[in-house]
Amino acid sequence: MGPGNSCRIDAVLFTGLIVLVSADQETITAKSGQDVTLPCRAPNNNGDIVEWSRTGPRDTFVFVLKNKKPNGDVQDPSFKNRVALQDKDMKDGNVSVILYNVTAADNGTYECRIIEAGTASYALISSITLSVVDPPGE
């Protein structure tokens, strides 16, 4: 290059999470006191972390699996001893959970996310709206 010529190189660096959205959406209506299954299937049984959360003004962790083991340290106290995997072996990527003894306080939207730590990506797999009603006369 000659003295009057200049070369400009602009570099743009993108960092952050890759977000994949292909969520199944469902509405479940249950009576107070029932047990409810919140369905979620991890594609290809992938995911270092599986997060079940209830969305709202303050998102809360309902159930978290890290490396296929429950992580109760981050679970909201209102869900302690009330949530379990439907299939402890998680066959075919089944990471559905059972929410025991639901009440009106459990109303809301529940989301199942799969997080792959190695790729820093997460995927919203299912979004379930739970509506708990009291039977008439109670």
Host H or E run for residue 18: strand 18-31
The residues with which 122 forms a beta bridge, in sequence order, are: 19, 115
Contacts of 73 (CB under 8 A, 6+ apart): none
CA distance readout (Å), 43 to 93, 122, 126: 6, 12, 12
- Answer whether 59's CB lies under 8 Å from 111's CB: no
The predicted-structure confidence for 4-45, as pLDDT tens digits, reads as follows 544 433 333 333 433 444 457 899 999 999 999 999 988 765
Task: Output the six-digit token pair for 71.
Answer: 């992580």
State the fold for domain 26-133.
Answer: Immunoglobulin-like (2.60.40)
- Answer whether 122's CB lies under 8 Å from 113's CB: yes
Domain boundaries, the chain: 26-133
The predicted-structure confidence for 44-103, as pLDDT tens digits, reads as follows 656 688 999 999 888 899 999 988 889 989 999 999 999 999 998 888 889 999 999 999
CA distance readout (Å), 92 to 17, 28, 52: 26, 23, 18
The predicted-structure confidence for 99-127, as pLDDT tens digits, reads as follows 999 999 999 999 999 887 777 678 899 99
Task: Output the six-digit token pair for 95.
Answer: 């990471």
